[in-house]
Amino acid sequence: MNRKILLLDLANKDYKETWDYQSELLQEIVDVKIHNRRNNLQETTKNYFLFVEHPHVYTLGKSGDFSNLLLTENQLKEKGATFYKINRGGDITYHGPGQIVGYPILDLENFFTDIHKYLRFLEEVIILTIAEYGIKGTRSEGETGVWLDVGTPFARKICAMGIRSSRWVTMHGFALNANVNLGYFDNIIPCGIKGKAVTSMEAELNRKVDLEEVKQKILKHFKSLFEVEAFEAL
């Protein structure tokens, strides 16, 4: 099993270009696995972790409801945003500047073959990360992601998650609202869940956070939970 992960920070990159890149990396891993199975080989598969910030974009998961986007095509253009219906799980969400998006593209056969556990581990990475800033995150039953004040009238989501997997290889991932403009969430019903708010680290702390510092904390907790041998620059 290969527990090394190739790490790349794409900085600010177009959503569609990043989606295509993720798909290429996933297919590369899947092709190795198919070749191994057909030829009774055990060639090692790679793992990747991408960090990225996207320009304003709304994405709708494969089971999502288009009516959860509250903007017309012209209104999207006015706001400088784009829209994509994509192949991850979950409903609609927003990505934009000041948000830390992480795309682990892992062969889970290098770690563990359990999608439920994978999602819970991703949530735990974020819960542990924001705890270092004094923010108490938790899970909301039946609603993937990380929330604050679950079970109260003030429940609000700080990190959305949605993934796709093929032959135990993952893509897509999490979007942590760090210093993001929360006004853009007003144009959707986030994750298709009515009556619940969205928040950010900046809103909770009343100050901006250092994005690079938060990323390093995410990697620290990811490495510990997933028992990663090492992160190596891609």
pLDDT tens readout for residues 156-205: 999 999 999 999 999 999 999 999 999 999 998 866 556 579 999 999 99
CB of 144 closer than 8 Å to CB of 161:
yes
Q: Residues in the chain with pLDDT < 70?
A: 190-195
CB of 68 closer than 8 Å to CB of 188:
yes
CB of 81 closer than 8 Å to CB of 58:
yes
CB of 157 closer than 8 Å to CB of 146:
yes
Confidence (pTM): 0.95
Question: Coil, helix or strand for 66?
Answer: helix
Residue numbers annotated as active site = 191
Alpha helices per DSSP H over 82-146: 115-131
Extents of the domains making up the chain: 4-233
Residue 45: both structure tokens together: 């598969």
Query: What type of residue is 80?
Result: G
Q: CATH says 4-233 is which class?
A: alpha beta
